[in-house]
Structure 1
């Protein structure tokens, strides 16, 4: 690949083992992806797929190695990398509109209220949740919760969309 947009270089992840030592999740992982490329990581349960996504998202550090996105090493979370979590990760006290609008407001801090709601509504409509804007997560099915997460991720226009089993619901 000539245009390395994402580069995972010698990444390893270990967790402390209860009896001492370490549990190795994966070791010496190398992978590069070009801008616009669609990549799926497939493997059995517990093989480290979610851990790789968490490292790419900047939610946890690698034990060794480096992850570079757009020529910058990942140091922590960024709104340039959106995550659609397997567990939905919605704020239970906010409505559908509130969850999506919260993401929009996080990215564009000085956005006007009308523009904020218009932008959030656009992505609520895109995922087919028109009419559910005032429902809270407890009132939604698993599939609807997942679509709120997708709308929230799309609404911030990230450079990278990381999805952990986004259609499992």
Structure 2
């Protein structure tokens, strides 16, 4: 009985020691999890700080895009008129056989396409010695208003052979 009592006491005395060890192990596991989760958060936070636009950089990008897009959009009607002029000159050159006819055909086509930048008198019509139309050229400038006193000057020219 003495031995059992002693072993029982050892068991009871050993139980608090085991309980303390288990508690310490549990605390160290918790601290490891907290440190691991903090590291994970730090990694994620670092990742998100590197990526993306800040508000300032977004505003700068919008200003740059606006500075390029607005002048381009305002120049589109001028560019369309240029292509209409080229098409009208090509048509006039194909249909006409002398300078006067080229000017008349161009004037009619300009009226249809509402061309105001070039008149039939402004065309450079070149004939060869036989009276055949060799080339028809044109050149003009167009001013496109952008912002208040700021405008864009575009020079157009072309020759139809």
TM-score where L is the length of structure 1 = 0.26
* Larger RCO (alpha carbons 8 Å, 6+ apart): 1
Which structure has the highest strand share of the two?
A: 1
Q: Which of these two proteins has the greater Rg computed from alpha carbons?
A: 2
